[in-house]
Structure 1
Amino acid sequence: MLFALHLLGRAPEPVPWPARWLRWPDFRLPADRAEAAQALREVWGGAAGERVEVACGGGRGRTGTALACLAVLDGVPAAEAVAYVRARYDPRAVETPWQRRYVRGFGTAQPPASR
Structure 2
Amino acid sequence: MIRDRTLQARVKLVGKLPITGELLRGSLLERTVRHTKGCPKCARGEGHQVFVLTVTYAGGRTQQFSVRRERIAEVRRWLDNYQKLKQAIEDICELNHELLRPGPHRRRMGRRHD
Shorter-chain TM range is under 0.3
Scaled by the length of structure 1, the TM-score of the pair is 0.23
**Which one has a bigger Cα radius of gyration?**
2
Greater RCO structure (CA 8 Å; 6+ sep)? 2
- Report the TM-score when normalising by structure 2: 0.23
Larger fraction in strand: 2
